[in-house]
Amino acid sequence: MTTTTVPLEELVHPSWAKALEPVADHITAMGNFLREEIAAGRSYLPAGKAVLRAFEQPMEQVRVLIVGQDPYPTPGNAVGLSFSVAPDVRIPASLRNIYKEYCADLGFDRPSNGDLTPWTEHGVLLLNRVLTVRPGESGAHRGKGWEKVTDAAIKALAARGGPMVAILWGRDAQSLQPLLGDIPAICSAHPSPMSADRGFFGSRPFSRANELIVEQGGQPVDWRLS
């Protein structure tokens, strides 16, 4: 990821470039941090422009926000969208549980792969709170500065207003609820195997999100993946 010579408008959608302008210096600082990591012989995930991939879709089209913690630390898994993986990658455990609830909630067949890109094309922002990670070290880049960027993105969505719903899985994601203003939130346990049995299964986040969007006068999300 390079920000010292590339304008923000070339890294993210123009609508997001405007929204993130107040934290442009923080994005530049994070680019410098990642270059320092490389110089020190360490790498980071996801690679290159995928770091800011969540902001490629127009901000005005966002109807659902799903917050993750940080990218998958397994090389080859992180793609810049929370919970998503490339089509040829084995589906991670948390996403397998998301799919179980997706099938139970909506009655759809289980998707054949873990690529959630179609959701982003239908107004779902898959945003990790921390946008990079050191391979094999979950949480290694927490507290380095990404939180200021993603908090600004969430505040910008709150200022824009609905129709919109936030889906917040786990305590880390739910700590962001004060940033949402009047945006309704669907909260439950995290889909991780360590917590999914404590309230994630049976929470019906997808159908409930559509109900709340329709109540606000918006169009429901097409959640189909296959």
Q: Which two tokens stand for residue 174?
A: 């739910």
pTM over 0.85: yes
Are 93 and 193 in contact by the 8 Å Cβ rule? The answer is: yes
**Residue 105: inside a domain:** yes
Q: Which two tokens stand for residue 213?
A: 């969007």
**Residue 168: inside a domain:** yes
Q: Which domain holds residue 155?
A: 8-215
**Residue 21: inside a domain:** yes
The number of beta carbons lying within 10 Å of the beta carbon of residue 47 is 14
**Residue 195: inside a domain:** yes
Predicted local confidence at residue 7, as pLDDT: 81
**Residue 3: inside a domain:** no
**Residue 160: inside a domain:** yes
CB within 8 Å of 20: residues ≥ 6 apart: 8, 12, 27, 55, 149, 152, 153, 156
Cα separation, 33 vs 141, whole angstroms: 10
Name the domain count of the chain: 1
**Residue 164: inside a domain:** yes
Task: Give the mean pLDDT per block of 10 residues along the chain (226 residues).
Answer: 68 96 95 96 94 97 97 96 97 98 98 98 98 97 97 98 96 95 97 95 99 98 94
**Which residues are identified as catalytic?**
70
CATH of the domain at 150: 3.40.470.10
Predicted local confidence at residue 5, as pLDDT: 58
Predicted local confidence at residue 41, as pLDDT: 96
**Residue 147: inside a domain:** yes
Cα separation, 121 vs 165, whole angstroms: 16
